[in-house]
């Protein structure tokens, strides 16, 4: 009797396996394949973001594709290693044409209704629009290396602000800079810290700019980012997801379940998950980046994240899409995160560029942002790169920069901005000057 029961169970398992195998074969023959983001993006961000150039990573959740084994990829833009400008980049800047990244149109026109309750943004950006790949680890003598940590505000643009900053700095007399764009769409300060700690230290940059905040205060899908790591190890489910998603059947089933799961309302998610990176965790992550960099002798330049909307006119799509629970509070919450950046303890190796305050009373500010109120137009990229570049030239780094890389910066600041006082670290939004 027991042997017969065992055979029945075995036959049932074989039958089920055959059904799945036939279904898998039919899906492959018919060419059906669901193009979807790494499952961790769906799980963590609550958004179906279709980036063909993102791949899963057990430590970072996702990263840019085309990375060498055990390493990460960067956004590639022209021959940035020599400082030579690219005709495409310069044409955009000179002509004033609109940014063609697709970010604005995607948010506005490709949002899909889900169960009549809200719109879920489906971002579909062509893989060939943004080239990604490795960059040299070895340093070149006499070249100042900067790495720009950040999210989609750092990554996107033609050119991005890191690329425009590189062009700007290399256009000045006697300067040789290489600026690596390490921005990744969707990244929070938690991911940025682990990217910096795990992969970027070996590149031995002189400076690291740090731009985070927006994704940190978006709603988490199931739990905060840090909760996906248990005792320093990635959630084991990520590895299983990566293995199973090679099956077309599993891929199709995952997308169907994903759409069912996203029928819950934004309020339900807010109660269940909270923000991806709560405010105290954001402060911890930013301080951790600062301390890690200082320990390696790397200067950190923290950037506040400017907004292209007012408290009275927040972007409604963020609430409709479930990114934020109540957009009437968005400006206040975002300011809290910016205040954390401003209040980071200033050290000999750490300063702040307060982009938000720099743009606050700028009459041209509306022209700096796409319709989403977050990402930059070509004019905004130019403005951001100019602010950062001018501050780098002005700062004396309390005498420390002169000892490492700043003697040239000091002389260049005298040459380029003889009437401009040097900058000082931001504290609670107060930008003062060094005597």
Distance separating alpha carbons of residues 236 and 214, to the nearest angstrom: 27
The residues spanned by each domain of the chain are 1-32, 33-416
Q: Could you report the per-residue pLDDT of 321-350, keeping only the tens digit for each?
A: 788 999 999 999 999 999 999 998 666 678
Distance separating alpha carbons of residues 56 and 243, to the nearest angstrom: 11
Q: What is the pLDDT of residue 319?
A: 87
Q: Could you count the other beta carbons within 10 Å of the beta carbon of residue 247?
A: 16
Q: What is the pLDDT of residue 258?
A: 47
What kind of fold does domain 33-416 have according to CATH?
Rossmann fold (3.40.50)
> What is the rounded average pLDDT of the residues 390-397?
72
- In this prediction, residue 11 has a pLDDT band, given cuts at 50, 70 and 90, of confident
- Per-chain mean pLDDT for the chain: 74
Residue 207, H or E segment: strand 207-211
- Do 299 and 293 form a contact (C-beta atoms < 8 A)? yes
Q: What is the pLDDT of residue 230?
A: 43
Distance separating alpha carbons of residues 341 and 122, to the nearest angstrom: 30
- Do 17 and 242 form a contact (C-beta atoms < 8 A)? no
Pick 406 or 7 by higher pLDDT. Answer: 7
Check whether 416 has a pLDDT greater than 70. no
Pick 31 or 241 by higher pLDDT. Answer: 31
Q: Could you report the per-residue pLDDT of 54-78, keeping only the tens digit for each?
A: 887 878 888 998 999 889 999 999 7
To the nearest whole percent, how much of the chain has pLDDT over 70?
62
At residue 144, what are phi and psi to the nearest 5 degrees? Answer: -85, 125
Q: What is the pLDDT of residue 22?
A: 80
DSSP reduced 3-state for 350: strand
Q: Look up the pTM and report it.
A: 0.73
Sign, CA dihedral 278-284-289-292, equals negative
- In this prediction, residue 222 has a pLDDT band, given cuts at 50, 70 and 90, of low
Distance separating alpha carbons of residues 93 and 97, to the nearest angstrom: 8
Q: Could you report the per-residue pLDDT of 119-155, keeping only the tens digit for each?
A: 444 444 544 578 899 999 999 999 999 999 999 999 9
Distance of CA 328 to the CA centre of its chain: 24
Report the first-to-last Cα separation within the chain, whole angstroms: 92
- In this prediction, residue 407 has a pLDDT band, given cuts at 50, 70 and 90, of very low
Check whether 413 has a pLDDT greater than 60. no
Residue 78 Rama label (left phi>0; alpha psi -120 to 50; beta): left
- Do 304 and 355 form a contact (C-beta atoms < 8 A)? yes
Check whether 302 has a pLDDT greater than 80. yes
Q: Could you report the per-residue pLDDT of 153-182, keeping only the tens digit for each?
A: 999 998 999 999 999 999 888 788 999 999
> What is the rounded average pLDDT of the residues 79-102?
37
Instruction: Specify burial of residue 280 (Cβ count, 10 A radius: 0-12, 13-18, 19+).
Output: exposed
Q: What is the pLDDT of residue 267?
A: 42
């Amino acid at each position: 009797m027991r042997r017969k029961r065992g055979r029945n169970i075995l036959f049932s398992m074989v039958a089920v396996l055959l059904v799945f195998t036939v279904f898998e074969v039919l899906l492959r023959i018919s060419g059906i394949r669901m193009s979807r983001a790494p499952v961790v993006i769906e799980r963590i961000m609550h958004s179906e973001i279709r980036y063909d150039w993102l791949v899963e990573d057990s430590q970072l959740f996702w990263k840019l594709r085309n990375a060498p084994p055990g390493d990460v990829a960067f956004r590639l833009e022209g021959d940035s290693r020599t400082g030579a400008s690219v005709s495409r980049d310069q044409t955009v800047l000179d002509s004033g044409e609109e940014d063609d990244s697709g970010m604005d149109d995607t948010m506005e026109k490709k949002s899909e209704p889900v169960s009549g309750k809200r719109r879920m943004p489906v971002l579909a950006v062509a893989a060939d629009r943004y080239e990604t790949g490795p960059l040299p680890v070895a340093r070149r003598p006499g070249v100042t290396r900067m790495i720009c940590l950040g999210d989609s505000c750092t990554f996107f643009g033609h050119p991005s602000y890191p690329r425009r900053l590189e062009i700007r700095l290399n256009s000045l007399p006697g300067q040789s800079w290489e600026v690596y764009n390490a921005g990744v769409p969707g990244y929070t300060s938690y991911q940025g810290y682990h990217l910096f700690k795990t992969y970027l230290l070996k590149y031995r940059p002189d400076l690291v700019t740090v731009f985070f905040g927006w994704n940190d205060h978006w709603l988490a899908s199931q739990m905060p980012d840090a909760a996906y790591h248990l005792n320093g190890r990635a959630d084991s489910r990520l590895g299983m997801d990566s293995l199973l998603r090679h099956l077309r059947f599993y891929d199709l089933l995952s997308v169907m379940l994903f759409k069912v799961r996203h029928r819950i309302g934004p309020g339900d998610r807010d109660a269940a998950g909270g923000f991806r990176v709560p405010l105290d965790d954001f402060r911890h992550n930013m301080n951790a980046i600062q301390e890690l960099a200082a320990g390696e002798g790397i200067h950190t330049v923290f950037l506040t994240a400017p907004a292209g909307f007012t408290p009275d006119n927040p972007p409604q799509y963020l609430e409709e899409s479930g990114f934020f629970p109540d957009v009437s509070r968005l400006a206040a919450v975002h300011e809290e995160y910016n205040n954390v950046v401003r209040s980071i303890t200033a050290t000999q190796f750490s300063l702040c560029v307060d982009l938000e305050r720099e743009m606050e009373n700028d009459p041209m500010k509306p022209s700096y942002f796409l319709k989403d109120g977050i990402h930059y137009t070509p004019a905004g990229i130019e403005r951001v790169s100019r602010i950062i570049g001018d501050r780098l030239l002005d700062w004396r780094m309390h005498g420390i920069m002169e000892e490492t890389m700043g003697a040239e910066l000091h002389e260049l600041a005298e040459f380029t901005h003889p009437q401009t006082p040097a900058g000082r670290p931001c504290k609670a939004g107060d930008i003062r000057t060094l005597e």
